[in-house]
Structure 1
Amino acid sequence: MALTIKRVLVTGGAGFLGSHLCARLLDEGHDVLCVDNYFTGSKANIEPLLKRPHFEAMRHDVTFPLYVEVDEIFNLACPASPIHYQFDPVQTTKTSVVGAINMLGLAKRVKAKIFQASTSEVYGDPTISPQAEDYRGNVNPLGPRACYDEGKRAAETLFFDYHRQHGVRIKVARIFNTYGPRMHPNDGRVVSNFIVQALRGQPITLYGDGSQTRAFCFVDDLVEGFVRLMATDEDCTGPMNLGNPHEISVAELARRVIDLTGSNSEIVYRPLPQDDPLQRCPDISFAKSKLGWEPQVRLEVGLSRTIEYFRELLTSK
């Protein structure tokens, strides 16, 4: 059956995840409108796409209404690393909440299907592991991470209320730790931090004792999950966990990065930041059963590809 070409809007399309998603949608033959205010996104991320005839980039902040004609919307707009979303916490909350209202309003007007990039941070510092979609979380609503955590929780509320009240077709994915090329080198995330520090021969910073665990999903696997979830029938709204269910301690991750980079960096320890979760691991049973999806890229392979990206980036700078 011939592919139906769709007009697809990707907010946050010049960011780490958004740029990979834009490229994937173009490869599938769709018309893609990338919208970004470039707070954390980068024109360099989408530069290779600008020459493609079915790609268009627009500078726009989703906290203001947007009037375009599209068939599908992927709402990825929001700073996603603590160093960025804590820089202007009020704006972070507005991006999640007002941005969701504006994009849902657009979807309602043009009858578009809309995807929300939610986050595992809606689970806060979990008291159970792994986290399944029916776990309601353990979030501090007053802490320094609340602008992101609660903003995303409110966005999910809005998505389901628009679905129930107005019949908007929604898909909600809860994204767990993801890594890969085009991560921001100064985003404060553990993978990019470790790789950049190792390549520069600087001490690798571990917060706490390094025993806290994370589960890392390569960006190509995550984008595959996005596309599959968006293509499901209308009964499958989510929320759906998308991430890697195999945990690793951050101390072990640091050792692997040192080995793969051939670095002489030493490990130094710093106090654990407030509300930093000790465990973060998804239960992906729902994604497996509904999408036939699970991560395929092994950690060593994904880390090697990410290290090569940062090696070239640091060399060019």
Structure 2
Amino acid sequence: MITGGAGFLGSHLSERLLNEGNDVLCVDNFYSGTKDNVSHLVGNPHFELMRHDVTFPLYVEVDEIYNLACPASPIHYQRDPVQTTKTSVHGAINMLGLAKRTKARIFQASTSEVYGDPEVHPQEESYWGRVNPIGIRSCYDEGKRCAETLFFDYYRQHKVEIKVVRIFNTYGPRMHPNDGRVVSNFIVQALRGEDITIYGDGSQTRSFCYVDDLIEGFVRLMASPAGVTGPINIGNPNEFTIKELAEAVLAKVGGKSRLVFNPLPSDDPKQRRPDVTLAKNTLDWQPRVQLDEGLDKTIHYFRNFLKA
């Protein structure tokens, strides 16, 4: 079962697991995911799509749970911050309860946002983070931190078999075109010939992981021995400034878009780069698709998407 299975990441994971011969139950309330992301899978006899909100209990029989349900972009998670926190916290409680009852292995899609605006660079899993608990991003950051707490308490108290991954900035086909994430923003603006909007002076850094690499990390962690719980960083350690990303997109798309600089939102991290040593050593995983190739694939997707 994949919660948030009709989202950007969930749809790619659904595809991967079906291709490996699994039966996949895709659960989504379509708050930020869309049926279009999984419409090509609906005719597959091994795929089932269920509308459900994880803040309510779910009674199904499964042997593996990937808990991806939660809006992950600031535009979506700040639209209803109370519901965002409930999705992370109540959703974790309900899915962990299901895992406990069915004795299923359960995977939590956590986030690099648990590190907040970090004082340690690059970020390794042992770093506890620097997060504002009452800011406009806190509904997501603290919700995900609390979900990790719940996962490890269920592991210690109820012996639930858990896997926790911390996702760093991921991009690729099926990103929501209006989710406010920097890669999709820049590509859509460039393709439309609009000004490319940079928040701050563009010197803040991010590390961009192509979606196929991330899904490979998910599958390897889920298949790892029971004692490998995580949390494990999955991301691409190659670091770029936001301005460098904008210039790379503009060079690939062409056109007459200009770079426009706006004030930086509050609590926006200045640096983000994963230390992926643990993933390399534990899962024999490392990213293979670099930004140049990944941007080409993502631009191709959005070019076709905007024509449709």
**What TM bracket, shorter-length normalisation?**
over 0.9
Output the CA distance in 2 between the equivalents of 1:159 and 1:287.
19
Which among 131, 134, 152 is matched to residue 123 of structure 2? 131
Q: Does 1:94 align with 2:86?
A: yes
5+ residue gaps, structure 1: 1-8
Q: Does 1:53 align with 2:45?
A: yes
Which among 156, 162, 172 is matched to residue 148 of structure 2? 156
Identify the residue that residue 104 of structure 2 maps to in structure 1: 112
Identify the residue that residue 190 of structure 2 maps to in structure 1: 198
What SS does structure 2 have at the residue aligned with 1:116? strand
Query: CA offset at residue 301 of structure 1?
Result: 0.8
Which among 144, 154, 159 is matched to residue 167 of structure 1? 159
* Aligned length in residues: 308
Output the CA distance in 1 between the equivalents of 2:151 and 2:258.
45
Output the TM-score relative to the length of structure 2.
1.00
Q: Deviations over 1:210-259 (max 9, x none)?
A: 00000000000000000000000011000000000010000000000001
Identify the residue that residue 205 of structure 2 maps to in structure 1: 213
Output the CA distance in 1 between the equivalents of 2:20 and 2:216.
12
Identify the residue that residue 280 of structure 2 maps to in structure 1: 288
Identify the residue that residue 144 of structure 1 maps to in structure 2: 136
Output the TM-score relative to the length of structure 1.
0.97
Q: Does 1:304 align with 2:273?
A: no
Output the CA distance in 1 between the equivalents of 2:256 and 2:273.
30
Identify the residue that residue 279 of structure 1 maps to in structure 2: 271
Output the CA distance in 2 between the equivalents of 1:40 and 1:263.
30
Identify the residue that residue 181 of structure 2 maps to in structure 1: 189
Output the CA distance in 1 between the equivalents of 2:272 and 2:262.
20
Identify the residue that residue 85 of structure 1 maps to in structure 2: 77
Query: CA offset at residue 263 of structure 1?
Result: 2.4
Output the CA distance in 2 between the equivalents of 1:293 and 1:76.
20
**Paired residue type of 1:155:** A
**Paired residue type of 1:252:** E
In percent, how many aligned pairs have the same letter? 71
Q: Deviations over 1:41-85 (max 9, x none)?
A: 000000000011100000000000000000000000000000000
Query: CA offset at residue 264 of structure 1?
Result: 1.5
Q: Deviations over 1:3-38 (max 9, x none)?
A: xxxxxx000000000000000000000000000000
Output the CA distance in 2 between the equivalents of 1:89 and 1:298.
33
Q: Does 1:67 align with 2:49?
A: no
> Which 4+ stretches in 1 moved above 2 angstroms?
none
Which among 242, 248, 251 is matched to residue 243 of structure 2? 251
RMSD: 0.4
5+ residue gaps, structure 2: none
Output the CA distance in 2 between the equivalents of 1:292 and 1:256.
30
What SS does structure 2 have at the residue aligned with 1:308? helix
